[in-house]
Chain A
């Protein structure tokens, strides 16, 4: 466990020249991934913002080997790399599937589910910007209720899937949520995942100023508010045991959580929410936390 951010290597493997939007939450997350694992990892990346960010051939701003792959295939292609490395006796090189919410919740859920059921030894990271960012902010199964996207111009009418618990139903050894606004927690979770054998699923909330309609300087703040309001909970499910992590572990009591409105009102995508909508979202968050409270008590999923 890293105790202080000062322990981090100064080495950068996300190189200069990438073409991400200013304030991009997934790009901060990528940098933290490389801080956590160094450059000794192989990435499998499907169609998503991350396949664009490194820039076009013959350049790349990723200093690690990357296999780019079709949109829905991350789980399957990572399985292939893992199998090849086993055949070749290559050990200690983590294979990391790095996909967006669309590539995870929607089109790629089958390949991910298959890889998890096969107990594939890899880390699957879903960076969740709650929409299809690459194609211009269309709704996904991860888009929250009420959010504007280009295919939900009056706001999404349905709720977000509970992806970590879908993965928990696969009985994989390690599931964690993270957010780049909490870099220590983020890095520790990735390092922990590396040490565990089997399928590891890490779900990252990656705020997206372009899609969420907030100022590019506010990414870290938005991520913090997501956690402080309880819209995003930091937790782990390790061999079936549920555990809230700091600072979420101090938010079980509703009085400690900020009202969701503080998070929602900073983002243009929620501009059309009514007071009723906001109340509904608050109720849902409270219900989620009641579930977390029980889970934390029983320490069981």
Chain B
């Protein structure tokens, strides 16, 4: 075991090395760049035995990853913001091709105006591409999730690609202590990739060819099934990882003081860490509040949300992003998860931290206090609140 203090981006590079990725195809974009730079150093120094394709765009990065994965190796890329949305077409093709590609996404706002800071709109706008999506709250979780996710994606019951999302600068460029387990132990947890098939001249198949209406729905159904399987496997793999290495991250949802909470703050990413501080402070003031950080957004943990709703009177959902014309992404999914359920809690949505604006525990305390007012009144004052919006 090795204790390091480093940025999440460098930790991503070390995780790629620890996962023994075989082909990397990537293109630089702020704030992802230090991932591809550090990986270049690892490859050129011989510490990581991998092919590194320095492609000419993100569209090509994902397209090269698909070729490599179809060639039967463990593949890796990383991107951010405009790079991710440029990949959009390729993302659909990768999941439809059932290729277990792993891609850290350093969450960043989309322009215009150009903004390089944290925002979930980039990955959220890709939520329907058939990719599994994890959201991390700290650097240790970034490392652990990348290792966990290869095991998940390569499982024959899943065979889907996954994004491991981490907020730009807040994590990507922030030094935090991380434990990197011994390589032998990682190899034991995550053995070399054994593809079920590859582009083999001795067993020729045509992959990703034309599918008529007679069959297309069945292929789509299998993707949905794989997502459901992933939902089952994610907590199991997280637990197993915990047994191996001592770190668990809550499976699908990382819950904090939710058992007796009347008010639950639903969060994602680093806002989830900040919310824990807010919860501790508010509890001192006598507020029965907890927080649940949604770690996995696809597959969406519908059942867990329902369980949380059983005892809570209210959800305050904080979104670092918005689906224009509707509301925050997490707010949408939370409400959708609770439809057809008896005794639903009140739900209020809060849009906060777009384009890298700070969301501190103080911001969250304010959100919680407003919500608890509404909770006591038995009525939500506003469906979607833009937090700290300038007049």
Contact = CB atoms under 8 A, between A and B. Distances in A.
A57 B59 contact: no
A67 B75 contact: no
For the complex of A and B, 8 pairs with smallest distance between CB atoms: A84-B71, A80-B67, A114-B56, A73-B63, A76-B60, A80-B68, A77-B67, A83-B51
Contacts of A76: 25, 55, 59-61, 63-64, 67
A6 interface: no
A68 B209 contact: yes
A62 interface: yes
Given A64-B204, A110-B56, A69 B66 contact: yes
A39 B25 contact: no
Contacts, number: 162
Contact of A67 (B55, B57, B208): B208
B12 interface: no
Q: Which of A68, A72, A81, A110 has the most CB of B within 10 A?
A: A81
A196 interface: no
Given A87-B51, A111-B56, A78 B210 contact: no
Give the one of B22, B63, B65, B89 with max A CB within 10 A: B63
A67 B70 contact: yes
Interface string A103-131: 00000001101100110000000000000
A279 B266 CA distance: 73
Contacts of A16: none
Contacts of A85: 71
A41 B199 CA distance: 9
A110 B60 contact: yes
A85 B73 CA distance: 9
Interface of B: 22-23, 25, 50-51, 53-57, 59-61, 63-73, 75, 89-90, 93, 198-201, 203-212, 215
Interface string A43-83: 01000000110111110101111111110110111111111
A51 B209 contact: yes
Most B CB contacts (10 A, CB to CB) among A54, A85, A87, A117 go to A87
Given A60-B206, A60-B209, A73-B90, A110 B57 contact: yes
Interface residues of A, number: 45
A80 B54 contact: no
A42 interface: yes
B22 A84 contact: yes
Contacts of A52: 210
A86 interface: yes
Contacts of A118: 53-54
Nearest to B50: A87
Contacts of A67: 66-67, 70, 199, 207-208
Given A84-B68, A85-B71, A111-B60, A40 B53 contact: no
A93 interface: yes
Given A39-B201, A42-B201, A83-B53, A66 B66 contact: no
A10 interface: no
Given A76-B60, A88-B72, A56 B201 contact: no
A88 B199 CA distance: 12
A69 B93 contact: yes
A83 B23 contact: yes
A56 to B, nearest CB: 4
A55 B210 contact: yes
A190 to B, nearest CB: 16
16 contacts: A39-B201, A42-B199, A57-B215, A60-B209, A68-B206, A73-B90, A76-B25, A77-B63, A79-B25, A79-B67, A82-B67, A84-B198, A86-B51, A87-B73, A111-B59, A114-B60
A32 B383 CA distance: 65
A63 B200 CA distance: 11
A42 B212 CA distance: 24
A60 B54 CA distance: 33
A288 to B, nearest CB: 30
A81 B70 contact: yes
Nearest to B60: A76
B67 A87 contact: no
A81 B71 contact: yes
Contacts of B63: 69-70, 72-73, 76-77, 80, 111
B209 A56 contact: yes
Given A78-B67, A80-B75, A87-B73, A69 B201 contact: no
Given A42-B201, A113-B56, A114-B57, A83 B71 contact: yes
B60 A68 contact: no
A264 B24 CA distance: 48
A73 B201 CA distance: 22
Nearest to B209: A68
A82 B70 CA distance: 11
A243 B72 CA distance: 39
Given A54-B206, A54-B210, A73-B66, 14 more contacts: A56-B209, A60-B209, A67-B67, A69-B66, A69-B93, A73-B59, A75-B60, A76-B60, A76-B61, A77-B63, A81-B199, A83-B25, A84-B51, A84-B70
A40 B70 CA distance: 16
